[in-house]
Amino acid sequence: MSAQPHAEEEFVDDLTSVDDWAAGEPDEAGEERQLVFANAEQWVQQWLLPHYRRNPKARRWDPQWWRYEEVSTLLEGLWQSWEYFRHEGPTGIVVFFRDYLWPVMDVITSDEGPLWAFDPVRHDQVPPMWEAADAPVGLFPDADE
């Protein structure tokens, strides 16, 4: 099963908390905060890749990163975090790099990360999803129970 890009409608529904602070909470000047990038794809192409550069012989990166559910989910989270931390004063971006960007990207691009099977010669090697068996009934009760 290969990853599917997130539809914009699904993505926006998942951003309720980002919408709350980005478009509803005023900044220090009393103006509503606006997102710099409309979505994670724009952020990856225009901000992340220019700011996170590593040795391509030591790290793995697939230009079609959105095919990997884990990678696309993590990069959506990094984008949302970046949009938040850019408003947090002079140390906000340093905290973002130290606590979010470096640890997450170092895992994503490592030999053991989700891109481990990527081969730049063959772009069709998204690792298959592991199988899972159903848990016994009642082991994980629904949250509303």
Residue of higher predicted confidence among 67 and 123: 67
Distance CA 83, CA 37 (A): 8
Is a pLDDT exceeding 70 seen at residue 145? no
The count of other CB atoms within 10 Å of the CB of residue 43 is 21
In the block, residue with structure tokens 């140390």: 91
What is the per-residue pLDDT across 96-130, written as a single tens digit (0 to 9) for each?
A: 999 999 999 999 999 999 998 887 776 666 666 66
Distance CA 82, CA 100 (A): 9
CB of 43 closer than 8 Å to CB of 37: yes
Give residue 14's pLDDT: 38
Number of residues that this document lists for the chain = 145
CB of 80 closer than 8 Å to CB of 18: yes
Residue 119: strand, helix, or coil = strand
Give residue 20's pLDDT: 45
What is the per-residue pLDDT across 78-91, written as a single tens digit (0 to 9) for each?
A: 999 999 999 998 89
Distance CA 54, CA 108 (A): 12
Give residue 4's pLDDT: 43
Across 23-32, 56-65, 74-83, 125-134, which has the greatest mean pLDDT? 74-83
Burial class of residue 97 in the structure, from the number of CB atoms within 10 Å of its CB (0-12 exposed, 13-18 middle, 19+ buried): middle
Is a pLDDT exceeding 60 seen at residue 92? yes
